[in-house]
Amino acid sequence: MASQPVTSNLHLIVTCTRRKKVAAGSTVFPEERNATSAYEAWLQMLDQTLNKQPLLTAGELYSGQHWLRAMTATESTCAELWVLSAGLGLLHISDRVVPYEATFSSMRFSHRSMWSLLTSRPPTPRRCASLQSLMQERPHDRFIVAASPVYLKAVEEDLSSGRNELASREQLTIVTSKAYQGCLGNNVVLASAAMMKELNTNMTGLNISYAVKILQMQDESVTRNAA
């Protein structure tokens, strides 16, 4: 009997945004210099918030141009949308969350240590705990990541381990800026200011706009191969 063709799905993975549809209130990541103690305090804070207000999906929480472009692109293609959150870890847009405020840029300790805590001990239930486990579950899928160098360095080890789970390293594309230097370099494509007019965006939306263009090209390829 002939073997069945391997199906290939698409995933767009983007960073979280500060702009949210519901205010964080007092659920703001604590100012600590130690990752472990900060995370313990954060877990307690999230647990208290969970008991006070209704949950939203990640798709309902975020807002802004960056988020709108990501949502619109995945709604018009066959891609799934995931979020790299500095406060909650890896999220699928259907995962339920509370309003919060957290960003790697304000954390005074290793961002990589924080991501390790978020993926080894997720603060809330979610579909997939880490990039490695996601790619391990979907070894024939294609993944497009749009992230600033700060976020990319934070998730670098997890993403590199995930890349090793894929049938081919070419299934991973990372869109970021020139500031990134690291072990994922062979999978990186650089967005530049010269692309803004073509992509109809400003510098803030540059990475996601370029990632969306790549996503649309890959979606067309998947559709042709499935026909």
CB contact at 8 A, 197 and 168: no
- Position 1 scores a pLDDT of 38
Q: Please, which residues have CB within 8 angstroms of residue 27's CB and are 6 or more apart in sequence?
A: 45, 46, 49, 98, 99, 100, 101
Q: What are phi and psi of 141, to 5 degrees?
A: -85, 170
Q: Is residue 2 part of a domain?
A: no
Boundaries of domain holding 182: 10-226
Number of compact structural domains in the chain:
1
Residue 46, amino acid: L
Q: Please, which residues have CB within 8 angstroms of residue 96's CB and are 6 or more apart in sequence?
A: 55, 56, 57, 58, 124, 125
Q: Is residue 138 part of a domain?
A: yes
149-165 vs 111-120: helix crossing angle, rounded to 10: 50
Task: Give the CA count within 13 Å in the CB-facing half-sphere of 205.
Answer: 18
Q: Is residue 125 part of a domain?
A: yes
**Average confidence (pLDDT) per 10 residues, the chain, 227 residues:** 55 94 93 94 93 88 92 92 97 96 92 97 95 98 96 97 97 91 92 89 90 92 67
146 bridge partner residues: 14, 175
Q: Is residue 71 part of a domain?
A: yes
- Position 180 scores a pLDDT of 84
Assigned token pair, 56: 């939203």
Assigned token pair, 185: 């370099």
Q: Is residue 213 part of a domain?
A: yes
Q: Is residue 56 part of a domain?
A: yes
pTM: 0.93
In whole angstroms, what is the distance from residue 131 CA to residue 53 CA? 29
Q: Is residue 51 part of a domain?
A: yes
- Position 3 scores a pLDDT of 40
